[in-house]
Amino acid sequence: MNTSILHEIVQAIPVLAAAGGVVYAALQFRGWRFSQYVANFTKLIELQLQIRKMVIDDPTLGPAGGTAEEVRGYYYSLIQLSLFEIAWYSHKYGQLTDDYFDSWEVNMVSIATRPAFRAMWQSDQTKILHDGFRKYMETLMQKRP
């Protein structure tokens, strides 16, 4: 083998290794960024859940006009929805496996048939939800358990 070819091969090896390292770092950064998206989203939902739990504990903090039992049923259903929203968002960014998310989905289809859940979903009271999740839920609620 010619020494100039051997010299070029020896020079190419570190260049290829460096290029591979850059690609690997970019993929790691992308995964870290998605993890941060999910962590930030989850924290926002957790804060909403704390407020909703306060209303369950003291229904007078909720909207006027409903009985204490109706207010508790509304917020209980809303909390279930919020937990599923975290699962949906985590799955969207690859943080939950398909089989685990599928089990959440099956259970949510069943929960969505409950009268208290339907009443919560159809009410015009404020529900802070990701637009993509809201559309997903509209489709999911068409399914039957």
Task: For residue 2, tell me if it sits in a domain.
Answer: no
Q: Which helix (H) or strand (E) holds 10?
A: helix 3-57
With 90 as the cut, is the pLDDT of residue 21 above it? no
Residue 47 lies in a domain: yes
User: For residue 53, what are its two tokens?
Assistant: 């739990």
- Inside any domain, residue 30: no
Asked if residue 86 belongs to a domain, the reply is yes
pTM for the predicted model, two decimal places:
0.73
What mean pLDDT is reported for the chain? 84
The pair phi, psi for residue 143, each rounded to 5°, is: -75, 155
**Model pLDDT, residue 92:** 93
> Is residue 12 included in any domain, yes or no?
no
Q: Which of 72, 73, 139, 75 is nearest to 108 (CA)?
A: 139
Report if residue 26 sits inside a domain. no
- The string of pLDDT tens digits covering residues 38-78 is 888 888 888 888 888 888 888 888 777 778 888 888 888 99
What is the extent of the structural domain holding 110? 37-140
Q: What is the pLDDT of residue 1?
A: 58
At residue 126 the predicted structure's pLDDT band, cuts being 50, 70 and 90, is low
Question: Has residue 100 got a pLDDT over 80?
Answer: yes
Angstrom CA distances, 47 to 4, 82, 142, stand at 65, 11, 29
Does residue 21 fall inside a structural domain? no
Specify the number of domains making up the chain: 1
- What are the structure tokens assigned to 115, written together? 């009268």
Task: Report helix, strand or coil for 1.
Answer: coil
For 82-93, what is each residue's pLDDT tens digit? 999 999 999 998
Q: Work out the average pLDDT over 121-136.
A: 86
Q: Is residue 5 part of a domain?
A: no
DSSP label at residue 51: H
